[in-house]
Amino acid sequence: METTTNPTTEATTPKQSTYVSIDQWIGKMTLTFDNALLPEIFGAMEAVGYTTEKITGMKEQLTNLVSLQQTQTKEYAEQFAETEKFNLKRADIDALFTKDRGLAKILFKGNVHAQTILKLTDASPKEYTAWAQVINNFYTQISATDLLVKATAIGINASKVDTQKLALVDLQAIKDSQRKETAEAQTATDTRDRAFDVLYPLYAEYIKYARILLADNQMLEAIGVKVKQK
């Protein structure tokens, strides 16, 4: 089965031992920057260079990050959908092939020629390309030889052969689409991560200054910093 993962929907700073999702970081940054202009907070932070313009600039970067996160989520969902479609189609083809192959092993028992060209004694591969080649060979060889006449006794006729071969063509088209969606999802992830890597240090530095300048001030909670209870 093809699988799909979203390995970079989480981010961590070097000193962290646990991961925090991008969405969680965006939530933290949104709270911080939305309240950064509150008089009690802004007055203290302006002393170390956090002007209205600087805060506005960080908020604009955050808006861009949110947009990139939404794009990444959409691209990943499309990749997942194509992967699911591929897995279902492949499972259907494989189920019918496994049945036909099993019946052919019985029908052509002792027929070395048939067993060889149909690869009935070979192990069925898991890797997609090799798997598809084995199935294509099975149906192509049956239809191209006098084996098809004998195979009708087990329900393998020209119509079934054509159906399976067309299904393989359709599956390859889905595979190509899946690869395209995977590439687009990775590009969207990389773009989002670069934007996060630029903004996060600015946010982290702001919080460090705030912890000092607003020490023991309850307003720290307005920017997402817990105030230690005495």
Position 201 in a domain = yes
pLDDT of residue 216: 83
One pLDDT digit (tens) per residue for the chain, 230 residues: 565 545 444 554 544 546 889 999 999 999 999 999 999 999 999 999 999 999 999 999 999 999 999 999 999 999 999 999 999 999 999 999 999 999 999 999 999 999 999 999 999 899 999 999 999 999 999 998 889 999 999 999 999 999 999 999 999 999 999 999 999 999 999 999 999 999 999 999 999 999 999 998 999 999 999 877 65
**For residue 208, which amino acid is it?**
K
Q: Tally the C-alpha atoms within 13 A of residue 57's C-alpha that lie toward its C-beta.
A: 10
Q: How far is CA 45 from CA 8, 48, 199, 224, in A?
A: 33, 6, 18, 15
H helices present in the chain, as ranges: 22-35, 39-45, 52-107, 112-117, 128-144, 147-151, 158-213
Closest CA to 124 of 95, 157, 161: 95
Please tell me the distance from the alpha carbon of residue 76 to that of residue 122, in angstroms, as a whole number.
37
CB atoms within 10 A of CB 24: 12
Please tell me the distance from the alpha carbon of residue 162 to that of residue 143, in angstroms, as a whole number.
9
> In the structure encoding, which two tokens stand for residue 33, read together?
């920057």
Position 182 in a domain = yes
Position 7 in a domain = no
Asked whether the whole model's pTM tops 0.85, one would answer: no
Pair 52, 37: CB distance under 8 Å: yes
pLDDT of residue 3: 56
Tokens 């590009």 — which residue? 187
Buried b (16+ CB within 10 A) or exposed e, 121-149: eeeeeeeeeebbebbeebbebbbeeebbe
Position 113 in a domain = no
Residue 21, classed as helix, strand or coil, is: strand
Angle at 204 between CA 198 and CA 206, to 5 degrees: 105
Please tell me the distance from the alpha carbon of residue 223 to that of residue 11, in angstroms, as a whole number.
20
Closest CA to 11 of 200, 157, 188: 200
How many folded domains does the chain comprise?
Answer: 1
Position 33 in a domain = yes
Position 111 in a domain = no
Structural domain harbouring 75: 21-98+152-223
Residue 10, classed as helix, strand or coil, is: strand
Position 138 in a domain = no
pLDDT of residue 14: 47
Position 12 in a domain = no
